[in-house]
Structure 1
Amino acid sequence: MENLMQDDDAVQQDLCEETFQQLNRTKSNEVTPQQREAFVKLLANFVRQRDTDKKLSEDQLFNMFKNKETNTVNMGKFLAELRTIGIRRTDPRIQELMDNLKRVHKLNNYEHGSPHTQHLNEETFKAVIAPNIVLIARAFRHQFVIPD
């Protein structure tokens, strides 16, 4: 199912890019209202699908790491798992996640140890990882491209 969604996403992205390039090659007065409308619909579908994929990734990650008794994610364990797949806490690509953890810790009056060892409920966890969800989801799916 997930592969089908990724394939469909890639097809839609290719179609968007092809349509966009066609529109770029034509003069603005040569673009018909139907072409514009078709492009806008295609782009809206692509964005809607991408947003759905992000939400599914957030849900999957929360369910993968949650403690079933407390329904929270231990961020220490989450960050440790990120480290095992190659993303350290100091990695600039997850700086927003780390900043969000510090903000949440501060909002909680610095309770429960450090920002990195907090236990977050579902809503807070998803908000914390949201800025970096694409990178994190790819990391857990082992979809990084390693240059030659």
Structure 2
Amino acid sequence: SELGFDFRGCAVMACYDKQSPDIAQGVNEGEGIDLNQGAGDQGLMFGYACHETPTLMPFPIYYAHRLVQRQAELRKDGRLPWLRPNAKSQITCVYDAATGLPKRIDTVVLSTQHSPDIDHKTLTDAVIEDIIKPVLPPEMITPETKFLINPTGRFVIGGPMGDCGLT
């Protein structure tokens, strides 16, 4: 209460709607790539500082942020006119056991909202070439690196219209 935020001074609104079919096709149990998933499609949290990047952020979250910044840049300047505002990214690294530092990138996930008229192959190729490769250190990408671009296959409906529970 002394901080100006408590149960007496705020309103709680409960507004429920169906999840976007674009998301549901990738996370509904018994559907999509992982038939047993039945949960959200991405989520990873960090809470520490380290010496992996100049900003003292862990390598995976630092570069995940750079990827969505690049996505926004290419959307706003019109280089990829079919991009839409909603995007999320996740980087998974293999760490060197001796040094504790990232050794290589295992997986890059970049899900980006897009216009309905872009096909998945064109989108995937452009995202890898124009967003991912210019951002990530090339020495960290190996032949084993996996690129998962819109792994549910479609991301046309985004933002609060696409995902229930979004704040």
Shared fold (TM-score, shorter chain, > 0.5): no
Higher strand share: 2
Q: Of Structure 1 and Structure 2, which has the larger fraction of its residues in helix? A: 1
TM-score by length of 2: 0.23
Larger radius of gyration: 1
TM-score, length of structure 1 as denominator length: 0.25
